[in-house]
Amino acid sequence: MTMAKFGRLIGASLGPGDPDLITIKAYKALKSEAIWSYPIRKQGAKSFALQIALNAGFQLPETNIPLIFPMTHDPEKLASYWHKAAEAVLVPLSAGLDVVFLVEGDASTYSTFGHLVRTVQEKEPSIKTETIAGVSSFNAAAAISGEMLVEVEETMAIVPAGYGVKLLEKLMVDFDTLVLLKVKPLLDDIIELAEKYDMVSQCSFIEKAGTNEEIVVKDIRTLKGKTVNYLSLIIIHNPHRQRVEIIRGCKKKCNDSGQPQGIAPT
């Protein structure tokens, strides 16, 4: 009995928006014979991930699969759409064709690709997947704003701002850098937190990093009361981190025989 040969499901990370940040590996995946698939929020809506590929000079292949991933937190609705998305890509995968799923940013970081992979493999466990790493929004944002995310022996936390300022206050104890994603709903609360702890000068707001519409704001107080885009983040360099002792490795110098110095060979 011959085993059915399935195509691969490939997550192609396209970076935050600048087509020049598409990696060579992702570029090759887009140029391959794989069927393109990409996320949209609702029927007929534009796909940000697809637009990155088009801005890089690609043409949308005649055969393509838009997948609806709505902006909702309702687990039942989400599960229904993941099921439909998995069924859609399983058609070419079952015919032995590769499917490349276009992802903005990095496919392993807060991406719909993870949900798609899990749902597809629940239905057909033998399907192979591949994740092509890419430039995340916060990496690009740090580069655009001209700052380091973390340096030697520093710590960093990356959290959706929706967890609230109480959690952020707790994280300030342990982390030198806080990267707050999706800050739109809590922007004023974050600004008040920065003012409370005298951290305004340590904050950078970046919107639509890597696109033609990118905005960098160093004084976040100027944003109070304003509506910002969903694709916005804030980087905070936290001066209130409480330092603890670092456990360092023990380096032993070896003599020519390969034995650590001061220890005689047995």
Q: Quote the percentage of the chain above a pLDDT of 70.
A: 92
**Residue 131 pLDDT exceeds 50:** yes
pLDDT-wise least confident of 16-20, 140-144, 203-207, 260-264:
260-264
**Residue 254 pLDDT exceeds 80:** no
pLDDT of residue 227: 95
Which DSSP letter does residue 109 get?
S
Characterize the bridge pairing of strands 35-40 and 99-103: parallel
pLDDT of residue 243: 77
Q: How confident is the model at residue 3 (pLDDT cuts 50, 70, 90)?
A: low
Which tokens in the block code for residue 122? 């629940």
Query: What is the reported pTM?
Result: 0.86
Which tokens in the block code for residue 33? 């014979």
- CB distance 254 to 261 below 8 Å: yes
**Residue 262 pLDDT exceeds 90:** no
Across 150-162, average pLDDT: 92
Across 123-141, average pLDDT: 97
Distance CA 29, CA 19 (A): 14
Q: How many CA atoms lie within 13 A of 264 on its CB side?
A: 1
Which is nearest to 69 in space by CA: 112, 110, 129, 102? 112
77-96 pLDDT per residue, tens? 999 999 999 999 999 999 99
Domains and CATH numbers, the chain: 9-132 (3.40.1010.10), 137-237 (3.30.950.10)
Across 91-106, average pLDDT: 98
Return the SS3 of 146.
Answer: coil
Distance CA 251, CA 248 (A): 9
Instruction: Quickly count: other Cβ atoms within 10 Å of residue 158's Cβ.
Output: 16
pLDDT-wise least confident of 23-32, 139-148, 186-195, 240-249:
240-249
Which is nearest to 113 in space by CA: 94, 93, 123, 99? 99
pLDDT of residue 240: 84
Which is nearest to 194 in space by CA: 165, 217, 215, 214? 165
Across 172-190, average pLDDT: 95
Enumerate the β-bridge partners of residue 62. Answer: none
Backbone φ and ψ of 32, nearest 5°:
-75, -175
